[in-house]
Amino acid sequence: MLGLLVIGFAIQLMHAQEIELPEVNIDVNYKYLEAIDSEEVAESVKMLEKEVAFYDLKESDFYNDEYDKYNVSFYCPEGSIIAAYNKEGRILNTVEKFKNIKLQKTVIRSILEQYPNWDIIENGYKVYYFGSTGNAKKEYKVKLKKEDKIKTLKFNNDNDFL
């Protein structure tokens, strides 16, 4: 008798747990996420780039389907992203600028190999995403210091010095 009572309550609880989740469109800006490939970048950069990718333009207060293009700015303490969206919410292009972020291991390794005993005193990271081609251009600018000498290096994501 007790077993039947427990089974009866369990069946009622199972039906009470059904939750309908809202529909989410996750493929809108997948090309952007693939192009920026931000696995090794600083966590703050990753978070802001994800916010840009999953931003729901149509839910914003300023959305009006009469306009073809929207520029939206996103900020974090280390930098900002300005993203241009079309009226469907697809990213057309971005300009991303960050200062003094944690550099990727490959970037640090490349600098240390060519400039041993130099200290990194400042850095900048820029990303330009072009939605028409689905490509992203990434640039680093690093300021080094050794005693009273200062050098500024610029290179791309392939560690090619510019």
pLDDT, tens digit, for every residue of 45-103? 999 999 999 999 888 888 888 889 999 999 999 999 999 999 889 999 999 999 999 98
Sheet with 149-156: strands ordered across: 69-76, 79-86, 91-99, 119-130, 135-146, 149-156
Report the chain's C-alpha Rg in angstroms: 23
Dihedrals phi, psi of 6, to nearest 5 degrees: -65, -45
- CA dihedral 118→120→122→127, nearest 10 degrees, is 110
Total-model pTM: 0.78
Stretch 125-132: mean pLDDT, rounded? Answer: 95
Residue-level pLDDT at 103: 86
Residue-level pLDDT at 4: 61
The span from the CA of 32 to the CA of 10, in Å, is 46
Residue-level pLDDT at 110: 83
- Rounded to the nearest 5 degrees, what angle is found at the Cα of 90, between the Cα atoms of 37 and 36? 10
Whether the pLDDT of residue 109 is over 80: the answer is yes
Quick one: which H or E segment has residue 4?
Answer: helix 2-16
Whether the pLDDT of residue 27 is over 90: the answer is no
Stretch 146-151: mean pLDDT, rounded? Answer: 95
Residue 138 · residue 86 · CB < 8 Å? no
Residue-level pLDDT at 12: 64
Whether the pLDDT of residue 160 is over 80: the answer is no
